[in-house]
Amino acid sequence: MQAGGKGWGIKALEKIHKGDFIIEYVGEVIDADELEIRMRKYKNDRHFYFLTLVGSECIDASRKGNWARFINHSCNPNCVTQKWHAITN
């Protein structure tokens, strides 16, 4: 759905309880140098989808993202972002 000046947005169709998992944010993990390059590349795009992780890591969901990129931030947030690490043997 359109979310006013924010572009596309997503709306929950059922109640989300505290602590519920909503969705994994998917995209390309890029470093600060690549972020600068892509910001210049997307300068004429009205909307872009970057999520800062830690340090110089960022997820670019602009081209290879999922529905999570359409969750708009709020001045009164009720969700949190968590960074998970896969453990491999």
DSSP designation for 73: -
Residues of the chain with pLDDT under 50: none
Dist. CA 53–CA 85, nearest whole Å: 12
CATH number of residue 13's parent domain = 2.170.270.10
Residue 14 domain-assigned (yes or no): yes
The whole model's pTM is what?
Answer: 0.73
Supply the pLDDT for residue 58. Answer: 92
Closest CA to 67 of 7, 1, 10, 3: 10
Supply the pLDDT for residue 52. Answer: 86
- CA R_g for the chain: 14
Residue 79 domain-assigned (yes or no): no
Q: Which domain holds residue 59?
A: 4-70
Residue 76 domain-assigned (yes or no): no
Dist. CA 63–CA 83, nearest whole Å: 21
Supply the pLDDT for residue 29. Answer: 92
Residue 78 domain-assigned (yes or no): no
Count of the separate structural domains present in the chain? 1
